[in-house]
């Protein structure tokens, strides 16, 4: 399954948070919608509804697999 997610900047921020923080990464892999809604530290992520729903459908066992399922336009 391939997902189309944007905007680039916001997805980049989410992925950066997942790289630098184990707990956020595990939350993103376990329940992406909840992880994004809760943010990381004081960081709040802002995705439009379509991107939010698409990222919520990603199922992955690793951050590498998660990233591979994201395609930027």
**Tell me, what's the pLDDT at 32?**
95
Range of the domain at 61: 3-71
* Whether residue 1 has pLDDT greater than 50: no
Calpha distance 24→40 (Å, rounded): 7
State how many domains the chain has.
Answer: 1
Q: pLDDT tens digits, residue range 6-32? A: 457 888 999 999 999 999 999 999 999
> What is the residue-wise DSSP string for 23-72?
HHHHHHHH-HHHHHHH-BTTB-----HHHHHHHHT---SSHHHHHHTEE-
Share of residues in the chain with pLDDT > 70 (%): 86
């Amino acid at each position: 399954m391939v997902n189309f997610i944007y905007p680039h900047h916001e997805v980049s921020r989410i992925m950066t948070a997942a790289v630098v923080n184990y707990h956020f990464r595990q939350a993103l892999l376990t329940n992406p919608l909840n992880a994004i809604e809760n943010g990381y530290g004081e960081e709040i992520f802002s995705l439009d509804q379509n991107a939010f729903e698409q990222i919520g459908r990603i199922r992955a066992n690793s951050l590498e697999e998660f990233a591979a399922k994201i395609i930027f336009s």
